Amino acid sequence: MILNFKRLPKTKILNDHNPNSSNGSKISLAARDFLWAAGIENTFVPQARPGHRSLDEYELMGHYEHWEEDLQLIGDLGLKSVRWGVPWYRVEPSPGKYDWAWTDDVISCLVQKYKVRPIIDLMHYGCPLWLEREFVHRDYPRYVADYAAEFASRYKHLVNWYTPLNEPIINSMMCGLRGLWPPYLKGDKGYIRIMLQLAKGIVRTVKNIKQIDPSAVMVYVEATGLNRTVSDDLRSLAREEEMRGFLCFDLISGRLDHNHELFSWLVRNGAIPDSLVELEQSRCEIDVIGLNFYPQWSTRQLYIDKKGRLAYRETEQEGEGFAELITKYYERYKAPVMITETSAVGPNEVRERWLESSVSVVKELRTAGIPIIGYTWFPMFTMIDWRYRFGTDPLENYYLELGLYHLNREKVGPRWQPSPLVAKYHSYINDPVESIGEIGHAISPAPSLEWAL
């Protein structure tokens, strides 16, 4: 595939950016400052019901107990950054009452001892147990923004990169479309109701944090994907699916007005036009686009099944469309891009092949001038498959090996065993100019940020 990249005019080169500086409003494009990152899986769905188990990845994988050992490997690998989430339901066990003891220890160790920049997931799915109806509670946007303000006030001397909410699409799908997570809504109306609440919460969260720390950088993370078709007559459906993938970013950035392709769908399914106007008027600037992409799961093919129904199946298992996807998001939002999640499932040779392939795509696009500022292998460690929540088997039957390190199941010796990917990833970190290259030319600054070369 040949991609036609638009060359942008050269602009004044800004001062070099120190990644450890408190002035997070400068985003460096230089290879030496590239944010090589990993993430500790931090899904929190603490609410249980008959047939459903509580899902807290930190608890299930022992991170609450073994966090020091986990962080040491982050330091040993030489990572520049880590995606790490706050368990909101634990730090605010009752409205307005906070317990920061554990997060104090973890964040100070991460930043001060290991000199790693945390990108804080303020919301990685779960709401507090006291918040009735979770995301559809009328005051959810205020509650989540108040919690964010408390966090930012406490840690602004250590943290200034945030993800206000991880993967709005998955939240809306699991909580609103499929009814699998609380508040268990279903259908398009449920999906849209959740999505609008999430967007309102994101906008209020960003406003609160920026008032406390104007230099804070927001990494807006979404579960991204591509849609293919088996025949030309389905292309309009693929286009509609693509637009739904942009929905949250369009809502929070003020792009969703009455001319938007999804406006009619939203209003027919319960969206109040005044609410859409309110979001449009209170829009956020997109500081950094965070793209989550998994080669075996993120590209779907639309087709008509034997019963005449629209159906989907996974396709392009090698992630052939990765460069295309990144380019689409950059061209739409014209903001720096960070690969905030990627990995692959399968034997080590399959996973290593994806690591090599995806990093080479990053280099290709940076050379062409697309400002990709970071790459995250996610997760760093063994995680628990979400099917655990709906199953009855023992925990060990749900281990999912996507990480750089695998859990030592023998329980003798170190907690984690490195996969062959660790050495490969370490070599990329040590030689960024070779692995991801320099930006091919200067990029026009984004409206709210300075970009430094």
The residue whose two tokens read 């023992």 is 394
**pLDDT of 8 above 60:** no
Per-residue confidence (pLDDT) for residue 307, from 0 to 100 = 92
Residue 366's nearest CA partner among 5, 1, 2 is 5
Residues 93-99, mean pLDDT to the nearest whole number? 97
- Name the pTM for this structure: 0.93
Q: Give the H or E element holding residue 428.
A: helix 421-430
Angle, alpha carbons 11-14-20 (nearest 5°): 145
pLDDT digits (tens, 9 = 90+) for 174-221: 999 999 999 999 999 999 999 999 999 999 999 999 999 999 999 999
Largest CA distance in the chain: 61
Q: Which H or E run includes 154?
A: helix 140-155
Nearest of 90, 97, 100, 105 to residue 59 by alpha carbon: 90
Pick among 3.50.50.60, 3.30.1360.120, 2.60.40.1930, 3.20.20.80: CATH of 26-452: 3.20.20.80
- How many C-beta atoms surround the C-beta of residue 30 within 10 A? 16
Contacts (Cβ under 8 Å, ≥6 apart) of 292: 167, 221, 222, 223, 224, 298, 340, 341, 342, 378
Task: Report percent pLDDT > 90 for the chain.
Answer: 89
Question: Residue 285 has what DSSP assignment?
Answer: -
- Omega of the bond leading into 183 within 30 degrees of 0 (cis): yes
> Do residues 262 and 247 touch, judged by C-beta distance below 8 A?
yes
Contacts of 183 (CB under 8 A, 6+ apart): 133, 134, 135, 136, 175
pLDDT > 80? residue 168:
yes
**pLDDT band at 26, cuts 50/70/90?**
confident
Q: Of 1-10, 348-357, 423-432, which gets the smallest average pLDDT?
A: 1-10
Q: Is 250 helix (H, G, I), strand (E, B) or coil?
A: helix
Which tens digits make up the pLDDT trace of 303-352?
Answer: 999 999 999 999 999 999 999 999 999 999 999 999 999 999 999 999 99
Place of tokens 């655990």: 388
Model pLDDT, residue 411: 77
pLDDT at 13: 26
In the block, which residue shows the tokens 């920026």? 210
Give the three-state DSSP class for 119: strand
Q: Look up residue 27 and give its amino acid.
A: I
Cis before 371? omega within 30: no
What per-residue confidence (pLDDT) applies to 450?
60
The CA–CA distances, whole Å, from 321 to 21, 249, 256, 298 equal 35, 21, 26, 9
Q: Give me the sign of the Cα torsion angle 170, 255, 439, 73.
A: negative
Label the pairing between strands 81-85 and 35-39: parallel
Amino acid identity at 264: S
CB atoms within 10 A of CB 277: 14
**Is the pLDDT score of 52 beyond 70?**
yes
C-alpha–C-alpha distance, residues 405 and 312, integer Å? 32
In the chain, the amino acid numbered 162 is: Y
Of 58, 188, 187, the C-alpha closest to 126 is 58
Is the pLDDT at 423 greater than 80? The verdict is yes
More confident residue, 444 or 269: 269
Task: Please report which confidence band the pLDDT of residue 19 belongs to, taking 50, 70 and 90 as the band edges.
Answer: very low
* Residue 39 predicted with pLDDT over 70: yes
Cβ contacts of residue 169 below 8 Å, gap of 6+? 222, 223, 244, 245, 247, 248
Q: Are 77 and 404 in contact (CB under 8 A)?
A: yes
Give me the residues paired with residue 45 across strands.
55
Write down the mean pLDDT value for the chain: 92
Q: Are 147 and 121 in contact (CB under 8 A)?
A: no
437 pLDDT band, cuts 50/70/90, is very high
pLDDT tens-digit readout, 228-251: 999 999 999 999 999 999 999 999
